[in-house]
């Protein structure tokens, strides 16, 4: 399991390759992002990224709380993956909210979260906020999760069009986070085969660079480490205005 340090770490678990990388960016004084790559007792693997919100100690605390709680998991029941992941996130949400109400330093604490339990050939995923999960299958990159933001609500209400979202202020306004006290995680699963690629990222990556750049790097004929470094470099070249955290998994 990794710690939250500003470099790249590589793992090979059960024949799959994993890479995690986090970078503070060019403008922030603190890295409030976390990532996790953890082998479980039954040979399944838990991966996650979290992006602390609110700035300073409160966001850092929330992201670290999520990382520690998931790192402490010993097992997840077979055929009950999504409900158990959902319940854990809801428990963390309530705990963080209660702490934010009683401790002044933690006022407004919260974090986005996206996690995946890889078990055999299935990826069971869960997310809250605007960290994202992508999957590359048959040379096509697909965004699996939908950002839980005001922009998504406005699109659903017909107030703005999907084409307006990238330049609209509402894409930065969180509708959900872990720590708000009413978190409603979204879950799902997908088949994950040999040759597929999973990408978990905080918004310091996908809101900094164009979708075309992300797609070009991920689908390019390079190894996993090169892809990870190229993604971080692209986000830094685009301004590096936020922490950048990525987990890549090669099937």
> Do the Cβ atoms of 185 and 90 come closer than 8 Å?
yes
Residue pLDDT, tens place only, 29-71: 999 999 999 999 899 999 999 999 977 789 999 999 999 999 9
The number of beta carbons lying within 10 Å of the beta carbon of residue 222 is 13
Contact 174, 112 (CB under 8 A): yes
Tens-digit pLDDT profile for residues 148-178: 988 888 988 888 898 888 888 888 788 899 9
Say whether pLDDT at 2 is over 60. no
User: Does the predicted TM-score (pTM) go above 0.85?
Assistant: yes
**Full set of structural domains in the chain with CATH:** 8-250 (3.60.40.10)
């Amino acid at each position: 399991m990794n710690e939250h340090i500003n470099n790249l770490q590589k793992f090979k678990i059960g024949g799959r390759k994993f890479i995690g990388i986090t970078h503070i960016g060019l403008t922030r004084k603190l890295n409030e992002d976390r990532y996790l790559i953890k082998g479980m007792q039954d040979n399944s693997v838990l991966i996650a990224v979290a992006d602390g919100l609110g700035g300073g100690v409160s966001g850092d605390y929330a992201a670290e709380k999520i990382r520690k709680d998931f790192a402490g998991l010993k097992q997840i029941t077979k055929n009950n993956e999504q409900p158990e992941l959902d319940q854990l996130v809801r428990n963390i949400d309530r705990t963080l909210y209660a702490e934010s109400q009683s401790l002044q330093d933690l006022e407004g604490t919260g974090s986005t979260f996206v996690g995946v339990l890889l078990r055999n050939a299935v990826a069971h995923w869960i997310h809250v906020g605007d960290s994202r999960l992508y999957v590359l299958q048959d040379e096509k990159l697909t965004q699996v999760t939908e950002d839980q933001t005001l922009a998504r609500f406005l699109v659903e209400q017909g107030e703005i069009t999907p084409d307006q979202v990238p330049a609209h202020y509402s894409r930065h306004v969180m509708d959900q986070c872990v720590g708000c006290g009413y978190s409603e995680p979204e879950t799902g699963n997908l088949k994950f085969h040999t040759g597929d690629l999973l990408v978990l990222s905080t918004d310091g990556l996908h809101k900094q660079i164009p979708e075309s750049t992300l797609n070009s790097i991920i689908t390019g004929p390079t190894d996993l480490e090169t892809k990870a470094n190229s993604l971080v470099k692209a986000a830094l070249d685009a301004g590096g205005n936020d922490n950048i955290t990525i987990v890549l998994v090669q099937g």
